[in-house]
A = this chain, B = another copy of it.
Amino acid sequence: MTLTPDQQAEIDALRGQTQTTLRATVPGMEQHLYHARPVLDHGFVRVIDYMGDDSAICQAARVSYGRGTKSVSNDEGLIRYLMRHWHSTPFEMCEIKLHVKLPVFVARQWIRHRTANVNEYSARYSILDREFYIPAPEALAAQSTVNNQGRGEALSGEEADRVLRYLRDDAMRAYDHYEEMISDEGQQGLARELARMNLPANIYTQWYWKVDLHNLLHFLRLRADAHAQYEIRVYAEAICEMVKDWVPAAYKAFEDYRMGGATLSAGALDCVRRMLNGEEVTQENSGMSKGEWREFQGVIGSQ
């Protein structure tokens, strides 16, 4: 259960109120409104509001390019053209507002994306709930042995048990003490803004997050990527499902040019040209470092 009864009641009430509007409206996106999509054990993402659609992107582009854009036969082609040529401003003309419930350590990564509007639950002002992220067994991964910033196999056996016990017990104890410290029964009661410092980073917080489509796609490219931490990636993936229904043409171009694409350096492009000319190119004669060569192989490899 991820929403409080109050929140659910508010949502149900709002869901019942259909309005008429002259604004651009996307039936597929309306389906997402007021439905909280569960993420992790207690988190969720839900769309609060949205502005614009695929046509709005084209409409803005056509203001810029005037009659010139008439030559592009259709909206999808225009959107692909804009994405390919990094014309980002038309994508900024769409906006989305999400309500997200997420662990604090995920929130700390997320907030680095600065071009967005945020209203977060204030633990200075209000009391946090007793809700902590405890990884599912298959997400309880070992440190990667090849990558400082990655994960290896899932832990198993006694080690996994001990980790889960620590995470659960430490969270519960920290929260017990939090409650005890702020209590004003028979004592003064510690200020909330101080007591919260005892709570670990897997406690859940929530916020409203509003962002334009261009910056959202940038966020998704980094956070829905295979190298992103699993716990933020699942949020990014949940949002991808929404964007796909909201601006299908833009999302398709995004998948092709951003998620599935790759940037090759001048040196790498030169190697591709030499290889296409039949030359045998190796790391040694490529001019690339071992790391670059490995990544290059990953991009152009036959897999």
Interface: A291 (CB within 8 A): yes
Q: Which of A37-89 contact B (CB under 8 A)?
A: 48-52, 56, 59-61, 63-68, 71, 77, 80-81, 84, 86, 89
Give Cα A151 to B190, complex, Å. Answer: 9
| Copies of this chain, tallied across the complex | 4
Contact assessment for A22 and B50 in the assembled complex, using a CB-CB cutoff below 8 Å: no
Identify which of B89, B190, B276 contacts A275 (C-beta below 8 A).
B276
Report A130-174 CB contacts with B as 1/0, cut-off 8 Å: 000101000011111000111111010001001100110011011
Report A197-229 CB contacts with B as 1/0, cut-off 8 Å: 111111000111010100000000010000001
Interface: A285 (CB within 8 A): no
With a CB–CB cut-off of 8 A, which chain B residues contact A20? 18-21, 25
Q: A159-B187, A302-B276 are in contact. Are A200 and B198 (CB under 8 A)?
A: yes
A115 to chain B, nearest CB (A): 8
Contact assessment for A122 and B66 in the assembled complex, using a CB-CB cutoff below 8 Å: yes
With a CB–CB cut-off of 8 A, which chain B residues contact A33? 22-23
Give Cα A19 to B18, complex, Å. Answer: 10
Contact assessment for A256 and B261 in the assembled complex, using a CB-CB cutoff below 8 Å: no
With a CB–CB cut-off of 8 A, which chain B residues contact A99? 63
With a CB–CB cut-off of 8 A, which chain B residues contact A67? 126-127
Q: Contact residue range for chain A?
A: 35 or more
A85 to chain B, nearest CB (A): 9
Interface: A255 (CB within 8 A): yes
In the complex, what residue of chain B is closest to A291 when comparing beta carbons?
B81
Report A231-275 CB contacts with B as 1/0, cut-off 8 Å: 000000000000000000000000111011111111111001101
Give Cα A144 to B295, complex, Å. Answer: 39
In the complex, what residue of chain B is closest to A301 when comparing beta carbons?
B273
Contact assessment for B84 and A265 in the assembled complex, using a CB-CB cutoff below 8 Å: yes
In the complex, what residue of chain B is closest to A61 when comparing beta carbons?
B119
A-B contact pairs, 20 of them (CB 8 A): A18-B22, A52-B97, A59-B208, A63-B208, A66-B126, A67-B126, A68-B149, A84-B292, A92-B210, A93-B208, A93-B210, A124-B229, A133-B197, A140-B190, A167-B197, A197-B201, A198-B201, A260-B267, A261-B263, A272-B272
6 A-B pairs with least C-beta separation:
A260-B266, A66-B126, A19-B25, A92-B117, A142-B188, A197-B202
